[in-house]
Amino acid sequence: MKGKIILRWISNIITTVLIILLVSTVFVVISSRASGGEPSLFGYQLKTVLSGSMEPEIQTGSIIMIQSTKDTKDFKKDDVITFRTIENMIITHRIVKVENSGQRYITQGDNNNGPDVEPVLAQNIVGQYSGFTIPNVGYMLHFVNTKLGAALLLIIPGLLFLGHAVLTTRRVLRLVELQNN
């Protein structure tokens, strides 16, 4: 009798974990697609770091948290900002010089030999680096933003949940059979 209670508890825990995983996965995929590729929550966005220009502070393959901002003229030298380039690329670099009372910023990656060629216009700033980094998770987040990654992230937890449901149904049917005999 004790073994059945323990099995029931384990089954309930597994079911709960799979449901949470499935719901979380759906949230991440929908949030990523809605925000143009990066999840956003409470004014913060997660960005994937795909280059080593800010190493050693920010490692390649990390995810960083940036705080979205509407006031883009309030930054000062040494702030780390995320901005959109003319080619529509997202870059995170440190401000090395403020020009025109915060209308333009000269930026440079910590690991780069010189400043960026193009100054950053205030209206192109996406947000400011919050200092929060998780190493290596960016590779996974970048993969999730591909069609294959999004599909796998939805299909795998769904299949796990379905498999668990089939096993639980089998177990219940066996118990019903034993009780009828």
Q: How many helices (H) and strands (E) are present in the chain, helices listed first?
A: 3, 8
Tens of pLDDT along the chain (181 residues) come to 677 788 778 878 887 887 787 777 677 666 666 655 555 666 777 788 888 888 888 888 888 888 877 776 678 898 999 998 888 888 899 999 988 877 889 999 988 999 988 998 888 888 888 888 888 877 777 777 778 877 777 788 778 878 888 888 888 888 878 777 6
CA dihedral for 50, 51, 55, 60, sign (positive or negative): positive
Residue 137 · residue 63 · CB < 8 Å: yes
35 catalytic, yes or no? no
Domain ranges of the chain: 1-36+145-166, 38-139
CA dihedral for 103, 108, 109, 110, sign (positive or negative): negative
The continuous run of DSSP H or E covering 12 comes out as: helix 2-34
**Pairing mode, strands 120-121 and 40-41:** unpaired
Q: Which CATH architecture has domain 38-139?
A: Ribbon (2.10)
Q: Specify the pLDDT at position 32.
A: 60
Give me the half-sphere count of Cα atoms (radius 13 Å) on the Cβ side of residue 73.
5
Give me the half-sphere count of Cα atoms (radius 13 Å) on the Cβ side of residue 95.
26
Q: Specify the pLDDT at position 107.
A: 92
Looking at 31, 35, 51, 68, which residue is catalytic? 51
